[in-house]
Amino acid sequence: MKVLVAGANGKIGKILVDLLQKSDRHIPRAMVRKEEQAQFFRQKGVDAVISDLEGTVDELAEAAKGCDCIVFTAGSGGHTGADKTLLVDLDGAVKTMEAAEKAGISRFVIVSALQAHHRENWSEAIKPYYVAKHYADRVLQSTKLNYTIIRPGGLLNDPGTGKVEASENLKRGTIPREDVARTILASLDEPKTYRKAFDLVSGNTPIEEELKRL
């Protein structure tokens, strides 16, 4: 499966591209905004394409052409305002879904946020982020795309353990970015994750085994 990683230059994105490149089942295409970012991946032997989530649906569809799956790991980042969160985390995500449909790509995986589906559990400190994730997820669920929505807890830069807890509803928790990326990889062709949304935190069960319980 050829996988377009939207947000490949982000922390989760970089780990995921590396995992995909080492996989014997999938091939990554890194989607980035800048030429120097594309060169970074090309020097590692990774197919890279330059496209902007604030661009058009047609441009995003062209970037995804020839791929079998899109993984949306992009985010505006913690240092931008609510306007960028709206443009990237919400509109950028929805445009990428429209681009998938336009390019004839059915498989779509998106990284959301823990409890994004329950307004009463949103963090006031980053409420616009939760709003963006909530509505992007709802739009995705209304499409005909074969989606998986992964809602990780607090993201850590610690080494992954390879063990998680995944369920429709989980209490607050944290998880290394590496384990989020591993979960994305494992979910790509795991039927139990098809048209499913779930919270994800560190746990005691190996990722592949936990996903089969969904």
Q: Is the pTM of this model over 0.95?
A: yes
Q: Determine the Cα–Cα distance for residues 141 and 170; give it in Å rounded to an integer.
A: 20
Q: What is the DSSP string of 31-88?
A: EESSHHHHHHHHTTT-EEEE--TTS-HHHHHHHHTT-SEEEE-----TTS-HHHIIII
What SS3 state is found at 2? strand
Sequential pLDDT tens for the chain (214 residues): 999 999 999 999 999 999 999 999 999 999 999 999 999 999 999 999 999 999 999 999 999 999 999 999 998 766 678 889 999 999 999 999 999 999 999 999 999 999 999 999 999 989 999 999 999 999 999 999 999 999 999 999 999 999 999 999 998 999 999 999 999 999 999 999 999 999 999 999 999 999 999 9
| Residue 145 C-alpha from the chain's centroid | 15
Tokens 């989980």 belong to: 170
**What integer pLDDT is reported at residue 75 of this predicted model?**
86
Pairing label, strands 196-202, 163-167: antiparallel
Can you count the helices (H) and strands (E) in the chain?
8, 11
Do residues 77 and 59 lie in contact, with contact meaning Cβ atoms separated by under 8 Å?
no
**What integer pLDDT is reported at residue 69 of this predicted model?**
98
**What integer pLDDT is reported at residue 78 of this predicted model?**
61
For the chain, the distance separating the N- and C-terminal CA atoms, rounded to the nearest angstrom, is 23
Q: Determine the Cα–Cα distance for residues 79 and 68; give it in Å rounded to an integer.
A: 33
Do residues 84 and 123 lie in contact, with contact meaning Cβ atoms separated by under 8 Å?
no
Closest CA to 158 of 180, 140, 143: 180
Tokens 């295409």 belong to: 29
Please list the active-site residues.
129
Range 107-121 burial, b when 16+ CB lie within 10 A, else e? bbbbbbbbbbbeeee
State the SS3 of 59-74. HHHHHHCCCCEEEECC
Q: Determine the Cα–Cα distance for residues 153 and 170; give it in Å rounded to an integer.
A: 9
Q: Determine the Cα–Cα distance for residues 127 and 116; give it in Å rounded to an integer.
A: 10
**What integer pLDDT is reported at residue 80 of this predicted model?**
75
